[in-house]
Structure 1
Amino acid sequence: MRQNPSFAMTDVAELRRVIDENPWVTIVSAAAGGLVASHYAVLLDDERDDLTIVGHVGRPDDALLGLGETEMLVVVQGPHGYVSPQWYGDVPAVPTWNFVSVHLSGVPEILTAEENLRVLERLVDRFEAGVGTPRGMWSAPNDADFVGRLERGTVGFRLSPSRVEAKRKLSQNRPDAVVDTIIAQLEEGATPYADPRLAGEMRRAHDAIRAGREKSS
């Protein structure tokens, strides 16, 4: 990912937030037959406070990805969306795309069966928490045999990234008034491009920029 100092993300707390809020990732590996990409949910390792993630893939995908044998890239895609030149005012302009993205690279560690089982349980609990009556991995009619087959059909991994590249391109190169207009259009504009999540990321980034300016003035 081409980096621009104005758009770089380096704060670990912010990176953890983006990963936590956007758990559906793309996993890319340079396998013997060429590049392979798979899509899975991941979680931050709850025993660490860095950018280590845990997850799993199905055994057929592991055969393609070769987890633990070579470096892999995990792409975390945050909110993103179209920005119309009309929102810049009466000035020469072209469209752009605002986005937040985190790339984590490294050679993953393969989890034991017990560790993998715990990660699978955490994943179910994480997403079932949003349902009216959560159904955990061990809830009936699931039984120990069923859960055991589930675990054996997956390969769990832990990735402590050796390289992190993160970028949030959120109109940091635009005047405050233009930024406020873009945020308003994304929050409640009457277009197909309205996206409150992207507006929230912009507001978060620009609030920090403005606070920094006030502190230094």
Structure 2
Amino acid sequence: MRENPDYALTDPEEAKRLIRAHPWATMASATPDGVVVSHYPFLLDEDADGIVLLSHVGRPDERLHRLGESELAVVFSGPSGYISPSWYGLPHAVPTWNFATVHAYGTPEILDRHENLAVLERLVDHFEDRLPNPFRMRGTLENSAYADRIVDGTVGFRMRVTRFVGKDKMSQDKSPEVVDRILAELEAEGGPYTNPALAARMRDAR
């Protein structure tokens, strides 16, 4: 990813905040058979020092990615959207795209069956907790038995992030007046590029 100090996201806590808010990620491996790309949800191991990711893959993705053999890249993407130069009110401008992203790198540690099931339960609980009647993998005897059967079709892993590259490109190089005009367009109800999530991220970056 091209470096630009104006947009660099270097604080590990900010990287964690983006990961928590946008857990659906793209994972990529360079293998002897070529580049392999998959998409899975990730959680942070909040009890660990540094940035540690937890997830799982469905078989045979663990073999396709050669998980545990070499470095894995996991890409988390936050709000993004098109920014028109017509919004700037300036005589000279070009289109751009605002976005937030974290590229996390590390070598996965494959989990045993018990740990894998625990990670699957944590993933389910994480997304179900906000529902009025949350589903639990072991909420009933039938569900528990089903979970025990399907766990072997997945491979859980933990990845300690050894390095990350982040970018938070939110028009920081523009004047406050120009940013205000961009925000007005992104927050315009019914506009062709209405994007309240991106507008909120831009406000945070001010």
TM range (shorter): over 0.9
Change (3 A) 1:190 1:92: farther
2:79–2:197 Cα contact (<8 Å) kept: yes
Report the CA distance shift for 1:142/1:123 in structure 2 as closer, same or farther (over 3 A).
farther
Q: Displaced runs of 4+ in structure 1, greater than 4 A?
A: none
Query: What is residue 62 of structure 1 aligned with on the other side?
Result: 62
Match of 2:184 in 1: 184
Q: Which residue of 2 aligns with 1:83?
A: 83
| Residue type of the alignment partner of 2:80 | H
Q: State the partner residue of 1:209.
A: none
Instruction: After TM superposition, give the deviation of residue 129 of structure 1 in Å.
Output: 2.2
Deviation at 1:204, TM superposition (A): 0.5
Deviations 1:140-174 (A, max 9, x none): 37433311122111111111111210001110110
CA distance in structure 2 between the aligned counterparts of 1:126 and 1:184, rounded to whole angstroms: 34
Q: How does 1:100-139 map to 2 (within 5 A)?
A: 100-139=100-139
Q: 1:95 to 1:141 in 2, by over 3 A?
A: farther
Partner of 1:14: 14
CA drift of 1:86 comes to 1.4
Pairwise CA distance, 1:186: 1.3
CA–CA distance in structure 1, aligned partners of residues 158 and 15 of structure 2: 17
Q: Does 1:198 align with 2:198?
A: yes
Q: How many residues matched?
A: 206
The 3 A distance-change label for structure 1 pair 87 and 49 is farther
TM normalised by structure 2 equals: 0.94
- How many Å separate the matches in 2 of 1:189 and 1:88? 19
Q: What's the CA shift string for 1:17-45, capped at 9, x where partnerless?
A: 10000000001011221000000000001
Distance in 1 (alpha carbons) for counterparts of 2:162 and 2:107: 8
Residues in 1 aligned to 2:64 and 2:149: alpha-carbon distance in whole angstroms: 21
**In the aligned structure 1, how far is the partner of 2:88 from the partner of 2:147?**
54
Distance 2:90 2:26 in 1: 39
Task: Give, in whole Å, the separation in 2 of the partners of 1:23 and 1:156.
Answer: 16
Any stretches of 5+ residues in structure 2 without a counterpart? none
Q: SS of the counterpart of 1:143?
A: helix
| CA deviation vs aligned residue, 1:109-138 (integer Å, no higher than 9, x gap) | 111222211111111111112333111111
**Distance change >3 Å, CA 171–CA 54, structure 1 → 2:** same
In structure 2, distance between residues paired with 1:141 and 1:197? 41
Q: Which amino acid aligns with 1:76?
A: F
Say if 2:111 and 2:155, in contact at 8 Å, map to a contact too: yes
Distance in 2, matches of 1:123 and 1:78, equals 19
In structure 2, the partner of 1:29 is: 29
**In 1, distance between residues paired with 2:94 and 2:108?**
41
Instruction: Tell me how far apart the structure 1 counterparts of residues 191 and 142 of structure 2 sit (CA, whole Å).
Output: 45
Deviations 1:60-90 (A, max 9, x none): 1112111101111000011100111111014
User: Superposed, which structure 2 residues align to 1:137-176 within 5 Å?
Assistant: 137-140=137-140, 142-176=142-176
Match of 1:48, SS state, is coil
